[in-house]
Structure 1
Amino acid sequence: MKRFLASAAAVLLVATATTLTADVDLKDIQCVVAKKAADASKSADYKDGKVFFCCNGCAGKFAKDTEKYAVKANHQLVATKQYVQKKCPFSGGKLNESTAIKLAGTKVAFCCNNCKGKAEGAEDDEAKLKLIYNDKAFKKGFELAKKE
């Protein structure tokens, strides 16, 4: 019964998500849950934006435990240009463009070389993503993009 309710909730979540995807380019964007291409018809509302999945099964997994997928979801919001960086994700300070790095298809800048070094010192791209796109860092450094 729990599985049925969770599946029904996931399908409902995807089915009722409004389609604002015309403004979102999903080229090279992966599902938040699986390492597959994201599908514009499989989305869920998240932090005043939308995250995209490859299938309803992944949407259901995300709906059950958004915290588990927060780093990938936050990164996807930036990769799809729904959120933009405004401050350093570590200090919340003013960005210095000379510190910018590329990370998993997104450009990230920092306030200083010390913060840049913290990111570059992470073991691999996955560790860097966890540092920069965890909820605390995301809240400090990124904002919802303004609609034109």
Structure 2
Amino acid sequence: MKARSLVTAIASFAVLAVTLYAADEIKLDGVKCIMNPKAPAKAEKSVDYKGGKVFFCCDNCPKGFAKKIEAGDKLVAAKGNAQLVQTKQVKQTKCPFSGGPCKGGTDVTVAGAKVYFCCNNCQAKAEKMSGDDQLLAVLGDDAFEKAGFKIKDKE
């Protein structure tokens, strides 16, 4: 009987440790809901997206997100991509404009996500844009693919 209690306690501790580790992995400080950018994103309100997770403020927003993605809404897709970058779930390997290797000191923050470029010219091009135009150009699906964003390996 004592052995069973000990095994149960160890298993419960292991589940708790894994849950706490997973919660620590993705930080949502300053991250806003994709569908309602005035509201903070909550860890328990998430859906899978491109191998990662995107976060929302309530139970209704994931439904709206899914409908817009299914309908091919490029802006909502770019917002999802931005949140993957902002929450550090993906790693960038190339410039979103040229596809060339990224260079340090060429970052621009787009919709809360830090994006790197290959040169000062591409950085300046991104800095000249603003709002939705900048978001679509730098983190739209085509640019996201060109930049080689990949889900980070779980270590």
| TM-score, L = length of structure 2 | 0.76
What amino acid is aligned across from residue 128 of structure 1 in structure 2?
Answer: Q
> In terms of Rg, which structure is larger?
2
Match of residue 60 from structure 2: 57
Identity of matched residues, %: 47
Paired residues of 2:78 and 2:140 also in contact (CA < 8 A): yes
Match of residue 127 from structure 1: 133
SS of 2:44's partner is strand
Match of residue 143 from structure 1: 150
Q: Pick the structure with more strand per residue.
A: 1
RMSD (CA atoms): 1.7
Match of residue 25 from structure 2: 23
Match of residue 37 from structure 1: 40
Q: How far has the Cα of 1:120 moved from its partner?
A: 1.4
| Separation in structure 1 between the aligned mates of residue 63 and residue 23 of structure 2, nearest angstrom | 19
| TM-score, L = length of structure 1 | 0.79
| Separation in structure 2 between the aligned mates of residue 101 and residue 52 of structure 1, nearest angstrom | 22
Q: Which stretch of the first structure deviates more once superposed, 112-121 or 40-49?
A: 112-121
Q: 1:103 to 1:63 in 2, by over 3 A?
A: closer
What amino acid is aligned across from residue 103 of structure 1 in structure 2?
Answer: V
Match of residue 9 from structure 2: none
Match of residue 93 from structure 2: 86
In structure 1, stretches of 5+ residues that fail to align are: 1-18
What amino acid is aligned across from residue 34 of structure 2 in structure 1?
Answer: V
Paired residues of 2:78 and 2:135 also in contact (CA < 8 A): yes
What amino acid is aligned across from residue 63 of structure 1 in structure 2?
Answer: A
Confirm whether residue 76 of structure 1 aligns to residue 76 of structure 2: no
What amino acid is aligned across from residue 64 of structure 1 in structure 2?
Answer: K
Q: How far has the Cα of 1:105 moved from its partner?
A: 3.0
Confirm whether residue 114 of structure 1 aligns to residue 121 of structure 2: yes
Large movers: runs of 4+ above 3 Å: 19-22
